[in-house]
Amino acid sequence: MRLLPRLNRRRVIAGSVAALLLVGLVGWAVVPAPATFSTQEQRITVRTGPDDATEVTLDTTLYLPKKSGKKPAILLAHGFGGTKRSVKSDAEDFADLGYAVLTWTAQGFGDSTGEIHLDSPDWEVKDAQRLLDWLAARPDIQTDGSGDPRVAAVGGSYGGALALLLAAHDKRVDAIVPMITWNDLSRAFLPEATGKDPSGGVFKKQWAGLFFGSGNALTDSSALTSQAVPQRTPTGDAQCGRFAKDVCEAYLDIATTGEADKDAIALLRRSSPASVLDQIKAPTLLVQGQVDTLFPLSESDANARGIAATGTPVRVAWFTGGHDGGTGPQSEVDRLRYLTAQWLDHYIKGNGEAPPTSFTYSRVSGLNARGRGLVTTASSTSTYPGTGGTSTESVALIGVPTSIANPPNGTPSGISSLPIANIASLLGSGVSAEIPGQHADYTSAPLPDTLDVAGAPTVRIRAASPTGEAVLFVKLYDVPAKGAPSIPDGLIAPVRLTGLPKDIADAQPIAVTLPAVVHRFEAGSRVRVTVAAADSAYWSPPDPLVYQVAVEGALTLPDVAGTPIANPDVIWRYVLAALVALIVVGLAVAILVARARARRIERRVDPEHVDTPLVVRGLRKTYGDFVAVAKVDFTVQRGQVVGLLGPNGAGKTTSLRVLMGLTRPSQGEILVFGHQLLPGAPVLSRVGALVEGPGFLPHLTGLQNLHLYWAATGRPLDDAHFDEAFDIAGLGTAVNRRVKTYSHGMRQRLAIAQAMLGLPELLVLDEPTDGLDPPQIAEMRKVLRRYATGGRAVLVSSHLLAEVEQTCTDVVVMHRGEVVATGKVDDIVGDSPTAQIDVSDVDAATKVLDELDGVRTVIPAGSNGGLVVDIDGVPRSEVVAALVRAGVGVDRVTPRRRLEDAFLSLVGGDTKASGERS
């Protein structure tokens, strides 16, 4: 099998295997290389619909490998709201591996004609069948018989359901890889956590509204400029846009009433794989996201069980992403990429042994050493355990029966998830997850040990309602010992109940299954179950009501006894063992040598500077013949806020990178509290830094990001001083919001707080005010001044000279890789050759000053009665005396020299990026 070596020769960067709903199946973008395939753009007209009575023209692209011979094919479908362009990079990558890849824009989208029928077997599925016919008729496509191409169907979300439905309705499909998609569309949009019929479920209004709204919007920019734009609304119905009339009416009815009638349920189930899973004989790799409030893990679970029940090979992979969480880290992208490649390589190309029908999943375990990327731990089991896990643990909950209020139409309501990130940014930082009076909490004692969960928790509740009916939302919270509670992945369980008593004392327990999650509760944290009357993501009854609720017994939490994948077989089984061993040995030797050197240098401590935060001596950094830093010397003392200044190319950032151990100096040394600095030196634990911009996980809260970062350091939780860092950085309640809702300024504040964790004695910041507005800059000025109190020190690099002048106690000015001045800000600014003089009579003062020896220029300062005077060394006292003798009143004399003037004087006015230095 040559698949892995081909991929290893090209740098593959993270794309969204998750295939977000509005973007489609996102791909594996690669470094440009000589094309191994050609493309053919073509508009293919197919007969579709009931009785094949309708013609639809599909906009397609065929990616055809240049190698000779017949090629196996892949039908690559895009996500809802996307077009064939959404999957372009995926198609290129598959074509580079030897597959003929046919992409197309589904009818109702982009430049294809027709209407949106939600993957209807009569429409979109039949379209795909006609594309199979088209492939089979080509002489360059490998076939298994007349009219039967060797083909796989791959897609995410909308395209994933199409792959499932196509495989059920057309036995010519040889393998499928559906990603983050649905099993039953009625259950996905009308979920019911008690296991009752989904027709009685609770309407998922936020996602449904986004789904419907995106289907009504033009998504293809080419459609806006095309001279022959296909008709988007054949019926002329502005309300329905590109949706078929029956789909549109079903949505409008459900959105209005919050309930689905039998016709709407039948329509949604028509577009669901649930009813045809027993007809799927194509080996299936199911990929599902753990961070997905649209299509949670239960949808993949139902697909896996239904397909496997007939003996069809099925492999399941969960990953730390989804519609709410993107792709997950690069390790996740790589894992899923290889699973997909291996699956197709065997079942489409016929290479190697059949991949195992095992199960893989991942846990978030922290951030990498630089705190800029998520670290996950992948595990596997030989068989798929489902959402019930392989073991369970019960956690006792404490709480009493409580009355909670349902507000009219569910407004205002608690917030569990926000699929539209821009909404969250409008809500402000003071919004809490739950509204007082609308929820009841049932909380465990602090956990004595770490508790892992992988699967669907279950709990029993009791409820009473004056009308006999209630819509409730059951939520699982992680309540850390320090910090704000959070809902793992934003997943909650809606419940619609009928036949309830009016008094809680008469209520019977009702079993509720919460959405499956993969989550780790740290020791000392508490587990909380919240029962709420309203949630912003779902429909709520229009009438105000008061319910009584209680939790009965303990919460049951499942887990999977998986085997950690240190080097996943799927990735490494084709790598020569000898080569791996050689790399490991070489790496071990390098680590040992580096550690030995670090220990030797760590032992060399300069006693004169053990209490000095930073000493830079003779620093020089070269890259080949280019001199980035020629010679830098300066010192940072406790209590100082030192500004590092210089034009672009002066060497500031390079100096900071050396300072943080991110690169080694060519010459010279850096002492941090007397210890010579090397990459990974232990003394770096006393330094906090923001050097190359913040990197956070958008679907986690600010607090969760900081906790993950601190966990990656391996230091005790109590040493983090979270509260102090939050207070100094001024984060407030915004720390409990997801980072994807943050403004640029709030991200900068969060980055500052991360650098301040542990209250390091030396704080190093590169352009901390980048992108901040004036009020935020003023606040950051206070932050840095506060931090330098108590014997700490701050080194800040900035191009905003006015801010440095107001913030810093000292400055270091660099130019062309060298330090040209150091000292107190006031000393660098020095005496001013220019002054502003506010006088009672501008004309008389101008006449006096023009005749005074030594005064070079006199310029009016505006409408405030002032003059800007270049006194050229004449004592200001003489200037004032001359004005007074002439009868001119002098109100104020102000020096006009600023740090900017001093800076320009020091660099000779040269603020351009420097070139090569010697």
- Give DSSP secondary structure letters for 425-451: HHH-TT--SS-TTSEEEEEPPPPSS-E
**What is the Cα gyration radius of the chain?**
33
Q: How far is CA 326 from CA 156, 175, 216, in A?
A: 12, 25, 24
Taking the C-alpha atoms of residue 631 and residue 668, their distance in angstroms, rounded to an integer, is 8
Ramachandran region, residue 84 (left: φ > 0; alpha: ψ -120 to 50; beta: rest): alpha
Where would I find the beta strands (DSSP E) of 804-877? 810-815, 818-824, 834-839, 857-860, 866-870
Q: Whole-angstrom distance between the N-terminal and C-terminal Cα of the chain?
A: 52
Supply the angle between the helices 774-787 and 722-729 in degrees, to the nearest 10: 140
| Residue 339 to residues 358, 804, 806, 875, Cα–Cα distance (Å) | 11, 52, 56, 80
C-alpha span between 132 and 151 (Å, rounded): 8
pLDDT tens digits for 468-494? 999 999 999 999 987 788 898 889 999
For 659, the 3-state DSSP assignment is helix
Interstrand relation of 526-532 and 402-406 (parallel, antiparallel or unpaired): unpaired
Q: Which residues contact 54 (CB under 8 A, 6 or more apart)?
A: 47, 48, 114
Pairing verdict, β 641-645 and 810-815: parallel
Question: What pLDDT, on the 0 to 100 scale, is given for residue 31?
Answer: 39
Residue 16, both tokens: 């969204």
Q: Residue 834's beta-bridge partner residues?
A: 870
**Pairing state between β 37-48 and 54-65:** antiparallel
> How many CB atoms within 10 Å of residue 592?
10
**Residue 99: which of 65, 76, 66 has the closest Cα?**
65
144-149 own/partner pairs: CB under 8 Å, 24+ apart = 144/172, 144/174, 147/172, 148/172, 149/73
Residues of the chain with pLDDT under 50: 1-33, 218-235, 369-372, 420-432, 567-583, 601-603, 909, 911-918
pLDDT for 567: 41
Output the six-digit token pair for 377: 């731990």
Contact 170, 156 (CB under 8 A): no
C-alpha 285/C-alpha 306 separation (Å) is 13
Give residue 888's pLDDT.
Answer: 85
CA distance linking residue 381 with residue 391, whole number of Å: 13
Model pTM score: 0.66
Q: Virtual CA dihedral for 418, 421, 423, 424, nearest 10 degrees?
A: 70
Query: DSSP strand E in 205-348: where?
Result: 284-289, 314-319
**How many CB atoms within 10 Å of residue 770?**
15
Per residue in 167-195, pLDDT tens?
Answer: 999 999 999 999 999 999 999 999 987 76
What tokens were used for 261?
């009638």
Q: Which of 657, 666, 664, 670 is nearest to 604 (CA)?
A: 670
Residue 815, exposed/middle/buried by CB under 10 A (0-12, 13-18, 19+)? Answer: buried
Which pLDDT does position 912 carry in this prediction? 47
| Tokens linked to 459 | 């709990």
Tell me what pLDDT residue 26 has.
31
- Alpha helix segments (H runs only) across 348-420: none
What is the C-alpha to C-alpha distance for residues 406 and 469, in angstroms, rounded to an integer?
12
- Give the pLDDT score at 83: 94
Distance CA 241, CA 884 (A): 80
Question: What pLDDT does residue 880 have?
Answer: 85
List Cβ neighbours of 202 (8 Å cut-off, separation of 6 or more): 190, 191, 192, 258, 471, 473, 494, 495, 496, 538, 539
Q: Specify whether the CB–CB gap between 447 and 526 falls below 8 A.
A: yes
What is the reported pLDDT for 219? 39
Tally the C-alpha atoms within 13 A of residue 478's C-alpha that lie toward its C-beta.
28
- φ, ψ (nearest 5 deg) of residue 40: -130, 115
Positive or negative: CA dihedral 731, 734, 740, 746: negative
